[in-house]
Amino acid sequence: MQAELAAILAALPSVVDPLAPGRGWQDWGWSEAEVAAWEGSGPLPPVRLILVWDNLRGHHTPALVDWCVHQGILLLYTPLAGSWLNMAESVQRIVVRRALSGQHPESAETVMAWLGAAVAGWNREPTPFEWGGKRAARRQRARERRHRLGGSGAYTRRRLPRRTNLENWLVNINSHDN
């Protein structure tokens, strides 16, 4: 993993202005104390790369995290459970559809170029997202068509006839006679 990340860093242009916004560790929510604790073995380089990682155990090893920080790699871990993942998957699905629809790429480089062009196009005119929308309204209508059964978690799609007060009275009388 370190060799792959080192190759990616080597291909990146050098940082021209280390004080530019987004290059400082404090720009990403690190406190002065956190930066000072990491600088025990030397000053931290400016942030060069942001790596979004899942929470696998191997991604949290002290040696790997220390190496990444001292290379200028800011690690952002995905939350264990987050509704934003649904949104991220939606965006990813849309970008892939726009980039590859009806296409038959012959190499990974072509796919990456097409995806990059699709993302650049999206960034010029981003699509606004709303939580809910048509799908949420459809689910709400489906919930409204359900009829709960006696306070349990069960439901029926047909409304069950309710007993009238006279029927309840007759049932109670008949049960006392037995």
* pLDDT at residue 3 in the model: 92
Residue ranges of domains in the chain: 2-77, 84-102+109-124
State the Cα–Cα distance between residues 15 and 47, nearest whole angstrom: 9
Task: Name the more confident of 6 and 80.
Answer: 6
Phi/psi region, residue 42 (left: phi>0; alpha: psi -120 to 50; beta: rest), is left
Task: Name the more confident of 131 and 36.
Answer: 36
Task: Name the more confident of 5 and 143.
Answer: 5
Task: Name the more confident of 164 and 109.
Answer: 109
Average pLDDT, the chain: 81
Least confident of 16-30, 118-132, 134-148, 163-177: 163-177
